[in-house]
Amino acid sequence: MEKAMDVEMEREGGGEEEEEETESVSDVLRDRFRLSTISIAEAEAKRNGMEISEPIVACISDLAFKYAAEQLAKDLELFAQHASRKIVKMEDVVLSAHRNEHLAASLRSLCDDLKAKEPQSERKRKKTPRKENKATTSVVHIPDN
Amino acid sequence: MTPHFTTIDFARHRDLELKIQNKHNFPLSLSMEDENNTFDPDLIHAIFKLVWTRRALERERNDVADALDCEVGAGTSKKNRQTSANGKAIKLSCELLRILITEAVQRAATISEAEGASKIEATHLERILPQLLLDF
């Protein structure tokens, strides 16, 4: 029976193998993702003076992973494609947050921060003098990581 | 644990504080240096690449099914080169996901607090889930 399965897999062009491999890569990523989520969630719970139960963190992690892999990745690709690009840029990420105004505003200001951090590439800075930057003061000193 | 703001962040913080209503309390600590506690950009990038590779392969399979002759190899065709992401976009995505987690926890904590509990449980998460999913 195994031989028959092997033959079938070869015929499919290793399609099933591919899927199995993607599954295990996906599992590894999901686990790493969960570790980060645990630390972020616990820190946030502490900030709110609460504890958070473990299965709930796992739940939030799976939810966020699913969001990242299914909604976010897909939306980013579609937005970039829509703009006839192959490279996803910051504006695509900002656009994907359009459902909530506050979220969109948060991301947009972070986007501006990141742009301001751009070292010597004066390309974008040439056209937009600092005065046009609405929410920031004129001197922007953001400490590096 | 007091958050660490620069003077610029503080100004923006105040600005946004005014805009933010009670329901949608997104974290006011928007500085990315804050808490050093966010997703690894490489991890997020890997997740995206996984998804985009899969989608590119699917597109190719569909193309092969449609086209009469197929001269292109995976990833070499101009039409079907896989989507990739700019470094800053990944960073921003990390922030987005971090905000998702913190929002979920923060909103659930509010419910939990209102009930007088000290631990966030499933029932608290349940209650905030619909609006959370609508917001993201």
Q: In whole angstroms, give the CA distance from residue B55 to residue B83.
A: 9
**β-strands B84-85, A87-88: how paired?**
parallel
Half-sphere exposure of B127 (CA within 13 A, CB side): 14
Do A11 and B78 contact (CB within 8 A), yes or no?
no
Which residues of A, range 69-88, sit inside 8 Å of B by Cβ?
Answer: 69-74, 76-77, 80-81, 86-88
Q: What is the pLDDT of residues B27-62, one digit of tens each?
A: 544 444 445 689 999 999 999 999 999 999 999 988
Over residues B65-75, mean pLDDT: 60
DSSP character for B81?
A: P
Which residues of B, range 86-115, sit inside 8 Å of A by Cβ?
Answer: 86, 88-89, 91-93, 95-102, 104-106, 108-110, 112-113
CB contact under 8 A, A59 and B125: yes
Q: What is the pLDDT of residues A102-121, one digit of tens each?
A: 999 999 999 999 888 876 55
Q: In whole angstroms, give the CA distance from residue B43 to residue B105.
A: 22
Q: What is the pLDDT of residues A34-68, one digit of tens each?
A: 999 999 999 999 999 999 999 999 999 999 999 99
pTM over 0.80: no
CB contact under 8 A, A51 and B33: no
CB contact under 8 A, A64 and B46: no
Q: Is B28 on the interface with A (CB under 8 A)?
A: no
Contacts of residue A66 in chain B, CB cutoff 8 Å? none
Task: Name the residue in chain A with its Cα closest to that of B19.
Answer: A102
pLDDT at A101: 93
- A115 backbone dihedrals φ, ψ, rounded to 5°: -65, -40
Contacts of residue B125 in chain A, CB cutoff 8 Å? 56, 59-60
pLDDT at B76: 53
